[in-house]
Amino acid sequence: MAKRKSKFICQECGYESPKWMGKCPGCNQWNTLIEETVVTGTQKRGNWASGSNITQKPEKITAIESQEEPRIVTGIGELNRVLGGGIVRGSLVLIGGDPGIGKSTLLLQVSNQLATQNIDVLYISGEESTRQTKLRADRLGVTSDRLYVLAETNMLDITTQIDQLKPSFVVIDSIQTVFKEDVTSAPGSVTQVRECTSELMRIAKRNNIPIFIVGHVTKEGSIAGPRLLEHMVDAVLYFEGERHHTFRILRGVKNRFGSTNDMGIFEMKEEGLKEVLNPSEIFLEERSRGAAGSTVVASMEGTRPVLVEIQALISPTSFGNPRRMATGIDHNRVPLLMAVLEKRVGLMLQNQDAYVKVAGGVKLDEPAIDLAVAISVASSFRDQPSRMDDVLIGEVGLTGEIRRVSRIEQRVQEAAKLGFKRAVIPAKNLEGWNPPDDIQVVGVNTVQEAIQVTLGGS
């Protein structure tokens, strides 16, 4: 016989404890352990794939036939890029992002794109009524008859509707609102999220249909609920961007069927999200001419080179400890690069406040942006602008050397395509390829040499 007993589960990380504690030992958060009733004991369970108790026999890996996973290509190229070429049938995809960032808008647009390809789509909303969804659909221009909308939060009813309609694509918005009746916890709790996601995973694999589920995020920006949620799904996508800016960035942090390095860029407009086919041109269109502290770097986002402006502002401090602030890059890299400039170049920055920003709301995390950040800081400190048609690429070492970076050819080609006349790159990257004819490539070995080339003087 199954028995019911209580235990305390952390709503942040899923840590389980037989008694209540004020501080969770798993994530060190206070007052996150909530009492939940669970069912224990053995129950007879069948095979979910066949409905019987016969399990599959193990096969030799050499006897398994290799085949490409079939994909559904949507009409949104940026989403196809992030997913690795399209939506894989039978996959479970989790998409998260801040409230109001555009997750529901994106998924409703994807649903409409698939429905226009004669694919039955079921959009299940647990946060909006069907009339509210219809209002948003009218704004986005959704007109397909093969897009079905359901306002439901009961997992049993959702499963019944999927079995009856037999759609080829399902959206759950959001997983925190769905609940199972046989689980006593409240909707959105760790137990409910885990059990409902497991049920959706079984539906996706059994019926070979892709399911997209929306997940809320915590104040730190991570997916709310247990970390197990991200391990269960096939792909995890994050929708990023400032609510007060028009650009949105879709990143893949997990993908069993493709790369996790690519990103898709969208622009939020009144009629919905529009793809940004040339993000470099968009990020550079408002760049000030002749301004000190501004440089351009060619950064790689997966397989796509993106040219972004990096701005720096250096001003004398009025405090005992100078401030070091960074937006869009790792804040620890700013004091590191400033220390290199002080020690290897001789710039007296120890009594200067430093503010570094990546324009456009983009987040860059690769070492190839080091040289552009260092030149921006030196340019602002000297109040001497660099050339407008320069693009800077390179990693800066602690001894002041400029180290080689990957995919230099694609970066320089993107810069030449946008009209830049000179690329300052690591000298080690000059070997083994031929640069375009309409751009000058200059190799540098040290930060001192790079400053000489870009700013002149000593």
3-state secondary structure 293-314: CEEEEEEEECCEEEEEEEEEEE
| Residue 99 known to bind ligand | yes
- Does one domain contain both 333 and 198? no
What whole-number distance in Å separates Cα of residue 421 and Cα of residue 431? 20
Task: For residue 305, give Cα distances in angstroms to 78, 239, 277, 367.
Answer: 14, 20, 12, 14
Asked if 265 and 372 touch (Cβ cutoff 8 Å), the reply is: no
Same domain for 357 and 342: yes
CA dist., res. 198 & res. 184, Å (int): 16
- Which of 155-159, 229-233, 383-387 shows the lowest mean pLDDT across its residues? 229-233
Answer with the residue of higher pLDDT: 270 or 220. 270
- The reply, when asked if residue 103 is annotated as ligand binding, is yes
Is 97 known as a binding-site position? yes
Instruction: Kindly report the backbone phi and psi dihedral angles of residue 229, in degrees, each rounded to the nearest multiple of 5, phi listed first.
Output: -60, -40
Domain shared by 374 and 346, yes or no: yes
Do both 340 and 438 map to the same domain?
A: yes
101 annotated ligand binder: yes
Whether 50 is covered by a domain: the verdict is: no
Give domain status of residue 262, yes or no.
yes
Residues 118, 28 within the same domain:
no
**CATH code: domain of residue 332:** 3.30.230.10
pLDDT in tens, 174-192: 898 999 988 877 888 778 8
The mean per-residue pLDDT over the stretch 242-251 comes to: 77
If asked whether residues 111 and 166 sit together in one domain, one would say: yes
Last residue of one domain, picked from the residues 262, 277, 292: 277
Question: Does residue 293 sit in the same domain as residue 253?
Answer: no
State the pLDDT confidence band at 458, using cuts at 50, 70 and 90.
very low
Last residue within a domain, chosen from 223, 249, 277? 277
Average per-residue pLDDT in the chain?
88
Q: Could you tell me if 236 and 304 lie in one domain?
A: no
Residue 53 is assigned to a structural domain of this protein: no
Quote the pLDDT of residue 121. Answer: 96
State the amino acid at position 446 in one-letter form. Answer: T
| pLDDT of 308 | 94
Residue 434 lies in a domain: yes
Same domain for 304 and 255: no
- Same domain as 273, residue 255: yes
Does an H or E element contain 155, and which?
helix 155-165
- Contact of 349 with 391, CB cutoff 8 Å: no
Q: Could you tell me if 420 and 296 are in contact, meaning their C-beta atoms sit under 8 angstroms apart?
A: yes
Amino acid at 6: S
Domain finish residue from 277, 292, 319: 277
Query: Residue 118 falls within a domain, yes or no?
Result: yes
- Residue 18 marked ligand-binding: no
In this prediction the pTM is: 0.75
User: Do both 103 and 223 map to the same domain?
Assistant: yes
Residue 102 assigned to a binding site: yes
Q: Is 163 domain-assigned? A: yes
| Averaged pLDDT for residues 168-177 | 93
107-122 average pLDDT score: 94
- Does residue 258 have a known ligand-binding role? no
Highest mean pLDDT among 31-35, 229-233, 427-431: 427-431
- Domain assignment present for residue 62? The answer is no
User: How many domains does one find in the chain?
Assistant: 3
pLDDT surpassing 90 at residue 310: yes
The CATH number given to whatever domain includes residue 202 is: 3.40.50.300
Same domain, 246 and 293: no
In a domain? residue 321: yes
- The burial class, CB within 10 Å (0-12 / 13-18 / 19+), for 432 is exposed
- Domain ranges, residue 290: 282-454
19 is in an annotated binding site: no
